[in-house]
């Protein structure tokens, strides 16, 4: 009887061990499946983040390329302006040299013939005043010919 009890317990024990092993394997598979699903979700999120970051990198690269292009254009424009400024400075130096030469001649002439230089200066000033007077008379006569409020012509509206 003890053998029968032991045999049945042992026989059942083997069944219990197999049953426990099946349950343990099932639990292990469930846990692994849950981890795989979790990792799959994490992988999808990581892939989405990589896509977002790739787009950000592309945008930044495009922005950097645009900035470099604008910088190169600015450098080119600056070089052109510097060349133009240098040319204008040379021209200014030439004009100043001519002016100084003419001023020296005028000083010598005024020392020799003061009346001639004074008469030339007065005539030039009179010409300037006449030109200014003519210009202002023309602009006044043009502006006084039309009254924009009434549509009438002339000074008396």
Q: Is the separation of the CB atoms in 153 and 146 below 8 Å?
A: yes
Specify the DSSP class assigned to residue 153: B
Q: How far apart are CA 68 and CA 76, in angstroms?
A: 12
| Extents of the domains making up the chain | 1-39, 47-122
Specify the DSSP class assigned to residue 132: H
CA atoms within 13 A on the CB side of 72: 6
Q: How far apart are CA 106 and CA 102, in angstroms?
A: 6
The whole-model pTM stands at 0.44
Per-residue pLDDT of the chain (157 residues; tens, 9 = 90+): 445 544 555 557 777 888 888 999 999 999 999 999 999 999 999 999 999 999 999 999 999 999 999 999 999 999 999 999 999 999 999 999 999 998 888 788 778 888 877 888 889 889 999 998 888 887 666 655 554 545 454 444 4
């Amino acid at each position: 009887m003890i053998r029968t009890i032991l045999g049945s317990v042992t026989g059942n024990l083997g069944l219990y061990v197999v049953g426990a092993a099946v349950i343990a394997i099932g639990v292990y598979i469930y846990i692994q499946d849950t981890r795989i699903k979790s990792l799959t979700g994490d992988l999808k999120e990581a892939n989405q983040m990589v896509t977002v970051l790739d787009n950000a990198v592309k945008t930044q690269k495009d922005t950097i390329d645009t900035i470099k292009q604008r910088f190169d254009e600015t450098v080119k424009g600056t070089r052109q302006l510097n060349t133009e400024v240098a040319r204008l400075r040379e021209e200014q130096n030439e004009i100043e040299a001519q002016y100084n030469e003419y001023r020296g001649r005028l000083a010598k002439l005024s020392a020799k013939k003061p009346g001639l230089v004074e008469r030339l200066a007065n005539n030039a000033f009179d010409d300037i005043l006449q030109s200014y007077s003519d210009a202002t008379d023309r602009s006044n006569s043009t502006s006084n010919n039309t009254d924009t409020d009434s549509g009438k012509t002339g000074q008396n509206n």
